[in-house]
A and B are shown apart, each in its own frame.
Chain A
Amino acid sequence: MKITIDGKEHEVDEKKRILQICEDIGIEVPTLCYHKDLFPESRCRICLVQKDGKLVTSCSTYPTEGCSIITKNEKVKKARERNLELMQPSAPVCGPEDDFEICKIYKEVGLPQTRFENIKDYPQDLGASVIRDDNLCINCGRCVQTCGEIQNVYAIDFMTRAHSEHVSPYNNKNLSEVACIKCGQCIMNCPVGAIRESPHIEEVEKALADPKKHVVAQTAPSIRAALGELFDMEPGTLVTGKMVTSLRKCGFDKVFDVDLGADLTIMEEASEFLHRVKTGGTLPMITTCCPGWILMMEHFHHDLLPNMSTCKSPHEMLGMLIKTYYSEKSGIPAKDIVVVSIMPCTAKKYESQRPELDSAVDYVLTTRELGRLIKRKKIDFVKLSDDEFDTPLGISTGAGAVFGASGGVMEAALRTAYEFATGKGVEKLEFDQIRGTKGIKDGKIIINGKEIRFAVASGGANIKKLLAKKDQYHFIEMMACPGGCIGGGGQPIYTDPEVLQKRAMAIYQEDAGKPLRKSHENPIIK
């Protein structure tokens, strides 16, 4: 189909909407409610363009033969400006620290001097790990769609109508009172920062300033593949060394690696799985390192309890080691040690506060919070030199590293389980069938003449799909966030789906570069 865009003729795919077409040929159209992974609802009306003289939303409109599209002129500009002006009274005015999507729109369209007063007055929703402020909300609906379409959780939806329409859990309850899995994917898709992680940063700063406290940081495998993005580095840049240096500069006394916790988890999980296979225990066994998935299981699939592995999540395991083994070894009493987990995850904030877990972790910072902390301390992250994790709890294997990507836990567990059962190493360490960004992946392996079928799912909707056919598998890995921890709700916010792939590549690169690549080879564990 031939159409004209801004005076130039283009041959375009008629099955694509105008916004996609413009993006493909390099014309940027500002939008707030459109997201590649979601069904276009065309709520925000910022992506307006002129099609044959009429204003239409480019996110929802298909081109017609020979139509003429104008993306930039006075009329389009004015219309976008007015819609921004209508949102403005309550939407955030971007300060220097903010990098919400709407800030980019302000730069493109211009921050309007609004003629209207703010009429919103909603109470804040202070959940255990996700907090919401409806007063900042512009009703783009992406969080609602994410929770429903991508995660299949349906914890939030729109309430009432007209100008009092707002996003909220059922009947204006708080997030902590409804079946929310705390995955934080809504945060990832909020263009105005109306939904955020509940901050632990002040408490951590207080602990850091306290000379009596011995503050220990432990970092998750997926942080190092994403932290750089907060400092304008290319997505997928591995910043392990710089991360350790920056944590030391922030004032942490020791920096340990949750990769070791991951190795521990694998040891436990692989042994438990083999035990279940041998003794006829409940199969399929399902992994338990993702607290988002745990919450999902508790809310929606509690009949699966016998299928769950009995392992704690890696950072809880390492946290416990720090407060016992490390405390004993270093002579620092456990009550003086403050364990801060740096996680890609908002659900871990909730996990660390679960009363039944008696958690050893005191505070959980998300990747974004760590970035904020580093910026607050005025550390020039990009120019930092590389440093190593502290001993003894900083040595880890490649198997621990791949935990960060969807399929990683399964891969690491199989490497170990195979060797435990057969006494030989697997022929090929990389399990290609469960790598990549597909939502559901599966494969099989022969262990001692028995075929073991395994499957991996990430993202709530995919989990639901996989559960429907769970009985054909022996071992299943579940991750609540799309792409696994690299796409976690605490990670730097991205809009381009390719970012996920780049982060995964970085993690696999770290694995490939390590001398030790199987969890049971970790000298600490030995």
Chain B
Amino acid sequence: MQILKKTQLKSWKKAQEIGAEKVLELLEKKGLVGRGGAAFPTAKKWRIAKSQPVEERYVVCNADEGEPGTFKDKLIIKKNAETMVEGIIIASWTIGAKQAFIYLRGEYEYLRKKLERQIKEVLKKAKTDIKIDVVRGAGAYVCGEETAILQSIQGFRGQSMYKPPYPPVEGLWGKPTVVNNVETLTCASQAILFDDWDTNLRLFSISGCVQKPGVYELPLGIKMSEIIKIAKPKNKLKAMSFGCFGGIMPINENMPVTNETICQNQCHHGAYSVILIDETYNVVDICLSIAKFYTYESCGKCTPCREGTIRMLNLLKQVRDGRASKKDLETLNEFAHHVEETALCGLGQTSGEHIITALIHFRKDFEEYTKEKKAKDKLKNKK
């Protein structure tokens, strides 16, 4: 795996030799983009922070990987934390930050001790005065969102802020802050050192109704059929989802997996987590568990997300119980769209996606429960 190749501080040495400007150019040339899901060009982000006319700057490494079906960052922290730390050092040095934070997911607490030891070692070897602190999240999914991370690090409630101002302009304590994902920073270190580094190799977290779930490094543009072959499904597949905020769509074996093809189907590409669902499941149940997740993880700040997610969940429960009328399905669709359009942050803006896509592609599943209930009621009446 490319991502597990260690740079052993050679990348840091090279960066110091060629200078900050050349580092940025190199990253631009290699085409490194954010791996958290938004695919923002990394060099551009660093440049914005670097160009702000202030003294203090910060780097935050986002290790709050909370997206259901995503577990690639855990692999990196477990097996290649040194390279990640090196990436943080390079990022801090490039933009002129003296302090960096690693925001570690609350559930990854067991990784912390080893990580802190590794940070200490790398910093000592790198001979730099940059400080790196590990901040532990308390388990809120929304704190993986960049503005919420910043709020949490500053000691406030982990709630999203609206943008602009974007963090590279105004972040921690009002100072320019670069927030990059674990994978991005690790890649940055590798991209600088290895000439054959390939930006198209991405980490796919594959899970669902399969026999071989796990993290795989695959090239962008790979066909779904190949992914399915690797994953070894148990039964005939019915649906696929690219992270739960990516929506649910019917399985399409011929589809090459690229940002564009996923987005065409009304979905967000996210961080290439592939969840495969087979025919034994009703999509409504899948929606229900995703909706439960959103309802629990909403930070509660804005009205549409706070009130909307629970209403969507309740409507989905009605569907499952076979009590939903056509009008209820309309309401469900209406509010799924409404929450997406008017919520404050990424969490709210994608919290209706699974419902919208499921209603487009799997309407039958929704009607199935109602039919089942009717049939049961009929039987009861006959008795």
Interface residues of A (CB under 8 A from B): 41-46, 48, 55, 57, 60-62, 79, 82-83, 86-87, 115-116, 119, 138-139, 157-158, 160-165
Contact = CB atoms under 8 A, between A and B. Distances in A.
B342 A163 contact: no
A43 B305 CA distance: 10
Nearest to A79: B342
A460 B335 CA distance: 41
A163 B115 CA distance: 35
Given A116-B311, A162-B310, 12 more contacts: A45-B344, A46-B303, A62-B164, A79-B338, A82-B334, A86-B308, A115-B331, A116-B314, A161-B140, A161-B299, A162-B296, A162-B299
Interface residues of B, number: 29
B69 interface: no
Nearest to B340: A55
Given A116-B311, A161-B298, A163-B310, A48 B303 contact: no
Interface of B: 140, 157, 162, 164, 295-304, 306-311, 314, 331, 334-335, 338, 341-344
A86 B304 contact: yes
A158 B151 CA distance: 15
Contacts of A162: 295-300, 306, 309-310
13 contacts: A45-B342, A55-B341, A55-B342, A61-B162, A86-B307, A86-B335, A160-B300, A161-B140, A162-B297, A163-B298, A163-B306, A163-B307, A163-B309
A328 to B, nearest CB: 58
Q: Which 6 A-B pairs have the closest CB atoms?
A: A165-B300, A86-B307, A163-B310, A162-B298, A161-B300, A60-B162
A157 B301 CA distance: 12
A32 to B, nearest CB: 9
Main secondary structure of the interface of A (DSSP, over half): loop
Greatest chain B CB density within 10 A among A42, A161, A165 is at A161
B185 to A, nearest CB: 29
Contacts of B309: 162-163
A44 B300 CA distance: 11
A139 B306 contact: yes
B307 A43 contact: no
Contacts of B299: 161-162, 165
Nearest to B301: A43
A161 to B, nearest CB: 5
B307 A79 contact: no
Contacts of A138: 303
Contact of A44 (B157, B303, B311, B314): B303
A82 B335 contact: yes
B293 to A, nearest CB: 11
B186 to A, nearest CB: 31
Contacts of A62: 164
Contact of A45 (B295, B296, B303, B335): B303
A83 B311 CA distance: 12
Given A79-B338, A115-B331, A163-B307, A42 B162 contact: yes
Contacts of B140: 161
A86 B311 contact: yes
Contact of A158 (B157, B302, B341): B157
A139 B334 CA distance: 23
A139 B300 contact: yes
A82 B299 CA distance: 20
Greatest chain B CB density within 10 A among A45, A83, A87, A160 is at A45
Contacts of A160: 300
Contacts of B307: 86-87, 163
A87 B308 CA distance: 10
A86 B303 contact: yes
Contacts of B298: 161-163
B300 A83 contact: no
A83 B334 CA distance: 12
Contacts of B338: 79, 82-83
Contacts of A157: 157
A43 B302 contact: yes
A57 B300 contact: no
Nearest to A115: B331
Given A42-B344, A60-B162, A86-B308, A163 B295 contact: yes
Nearest to A165: B300
B162 A57 contact: yes
A87 B157 CA distance: 22
Greatest chain A CB density within 10 A among B299, B307, B308 is at B307
Contact of A41 (B296, B301, B310): B301
B296 A48 contact: no
B331 A48 contact: no
A139 B140 CA distance: 19
A162 B308 CA distance: 10
Contacts of B301: 41, 43, 165
A138 B300 CA distance: 11
Nearest to A116: B311
